[in-house]
A = this chain, B = another copy of it.
């Protein structure tokens, strides 16, 4: 999505530790109209897939998931992040490692909202290591739901996320694929 690449170049910042900061339009502050355009782009990519629900994880994936869901006219679901592994039969639960924070958490979703009748699109703002998506995949599998694909706004294509998700047999899309980012030479796209 050319407009997203241009926005990343214009407004993104490369911080120490390989962090691409896009807080001015993608998370923290959200460029609402542009987020709706990204939702429409996701609709174009997956419109023939008979999607019944869109699933993301709190918090920064929620607006993109919702923007896409408003085009598909299907419910938006988000898994919550829990520190503790509370034992309860009422939820699906998957362990996720956060490389940003250097710890593990559990992605949790109430069982009543996802079932074997669902065809689910997984959405998040970033795809890097793929950990968050793998957590959502695990939740869908616990539910017996069919996964239609994974889509991120921004992929760090130099990390292993895409190949990890593809090795699960899934379609993987990104609206912008960063091939290289460097504080000195800037950002390049695939």
Contact = CB atoms under 8 A, between A and B. Distances in A.
Nearest to A21: B110
A189 interface: no
Report whether over half of chain A's contact residues are helix, strand or loop; otherwise say mixed: mixed
A170 interface: no
Interface string A82-122: 00000000000000000000000000011011000000000
B73 A28 contact: no
A23 interface: yes
Bin chain A's interface residue count.
20 to 34
Nearest to A66: B63
Contacts of A74: 32
A102 to B, nearest CB: 15
A35 interface: yes
B28 A78 contact: yes
A117 to B, nearest CB: 14
B70 A32 contact: yes
A58 interface: yes
A156 B6 CA distance: 45
Contacts of A72: 32
Nearest to A27: B78
A103 to B, nearest CB: 13
26 contacts: A23-B113, A24-B112, A24-B113, A28-B77, A29-B77, A30-B69, A30-B75, A30-B78, A32-B66, A32-B70, A32-B72, A32-B74, A32-B75, A35-B76, A36-B70, A58-B58, A58-B59, A59-B59, A59-B62, A59-B78, A59-B80, A62-B62, A62-B63, A63-B63, A63-B76, A66-B67
